[in-house]
Each structure stands twice: as C-alpha cells, then as structure tokens.
Amino acid sequence: MTELDAVIEGTGHFLPSNVIDNTHFESFLDTSDEWIQSRTGIRTRCFAAENETTSDLAIAACAEAMKNAGAGPEDIDLIVLATSTPDYTFPATATLVQNALGIRQGFAFDIQAVCSGFVFALASASSFLQTGAATRALVVGAETFSRILDWKDRSTCILFGDGAGAVVLAAQPRGKSQPRRGILASDVKSDGRYRELLYVNGGVSKTGTVGHLTMKGKEVFRHAVSKLAVSTNAALDQAGLTTSDVDWVVPHQANVRILNALMSRLGLENEKLVSTVATQGNTSAASIPLALSMANSKNLFQDGDIVVSQAIGGGFAWGTCVMRW
C-alpha cells in the first residue's frame, strides 16, 4: 500500500476591515496605548462588522487558499474548521463553509479546542488524508472573539481580535528517495484540571447564554511557556528532528512576552519567529493559519523548510505540529 503524506498546497487568510487601535479602549477603560503595547506587544486588532459572522471570515480565507492551491470545489472532500465562536449551536460552521463554496462531496465538521484548535484540526485532517479517508482538505481556523469579550475587563478585552486563516492540505504519495513533506508529526494534549484559568462563563447547557471570556493571565502565561516547550520537543522527537533543524516557528499569537519566552526556552533565535500579534492581537484558533498565510504570501517559507506551530488554549488544550514546507 502506498504511504501518503499530508502536504500544504495553498494558504489563505481574511481580516475584517474594521481595524481597532489601542486608543479605542481609552474612552471606557483605565488603560493607554503605551500600557497595552508594553505588556502585550499589541498595537491593533480587527473586529468583525455587526453583520459579519465566523463563517463569512472562514469562507473568504478558504476561497483564497483554494485559489492559491489551484483547487476547485470538486477537489475538496474534507473540511475541518476550528472555532470557539460558531455561527450556530448547530449545524457545524464547517458545513456552512462547505455549502457556500459549492463543495458537494465529502464531509465537514468543527473542532473546539479554543486557541489550540488549528493544531488539533491539522492533526485530525492529516490523519484522514494519510489513511486514505479523504484526498484533499480545507483546514480552517476562524473566530469572532469580539462577540464574547467583557468590555469592562481591561485584562482580556484588549487582547483579542477577529479573523480567519486556512490551508489546503492534500494527500500525496510519499517519495522513497526524498525526505517526507507536509505534516511530519503532531503532539496534542489536554488537561481539564485547568478550566478555571481560562474559560467562557456561559454555555447552552450550563447557563443558556453565550457568556464572556475570563482568564487568569499570570497562571496561563506560566503554563503556556512550559507546556508548549515540552510539546514542541516531543513533536520534533517524533519527527526525528531537533530544535537545530527548525527554520521557522509560527506559534499561536497570544502575547509577545509568551512568544519571546517560548523562543528563549527552546534556544531559538527570534529571527526564526513569525509574529503577527502586534497588528492582529490574539485571534484564537485563527492566529496560526493567519500567520502561516501571511508569511507564505511574502514567500518567507522555502521548499524543505521545517516549520513548527504550537498553541495552548482553554481547557487546557495544547499541542504542536511539525511540518516540512
């Protein structure tokens, strides 16, 4: 039986046109542009318009990814969409994307692993492709986090933004004389003991409300750096690689301090870090595919580059994917 690799063929992203700078918050919070930048590295973020939904953002990102991959609706037979802010309780937002793009075959579903959702989605989609259950997938992260923010909580509402990113992932025969390509290894973990550190205080079954995000930032920071460093090394080990093989790190864009601390913990130079947090803030499950797509659109990645993406989110849920571009 021919062994298959799950290879990225194209990337796409979409950001709402409503750009919000830090001075926006000065009128109703005790904060300032200097305070926000010094603690988070964030200068601006984008908020969806009142009539823009998570699926709208996802559809635009997917359309661009398909165009860049040279793929039509008839070529896609799997959609895995990571989000914590779906359009509806059901159906899955992925099915809305499927319909809007004219994809009439295959299957589509959502993954809810908060900020680590895209890593979980990549790991899931690559498994389907490598086993032959699907041939070409759209893997998407899309969020409208502005809908679940508490505008009285300056420790959280300044951090988040909206957006979407997507990749086209295709099953390709593994070369016998060449290094493997695509998703080389994934390490995904979760531990529900840490729910109280980062969660939304609402839900269909619990309160019948959407709720608002609540977070204990210092504790999340501590867990994020240590868990992501361990996960990164575990995924690299699975792939038969070490940190010295890494060309690029494209992590979840939560906070510039976390990004810098992670790079230091891994012993990697910041020149290998792809960071978009300054202009997008934390877009949860959308942050990694947004950063991947924006970097790819600038031809940052070269064939054969080792790219590592890692994320941690509420639950806790966290993980790492190692890719050869």
Show which residues are catalytic. Answer: 115, 252, 282
CA angle 227, 230, 235 (to 5 degrees): 120
CA distance 124 to 120: 6
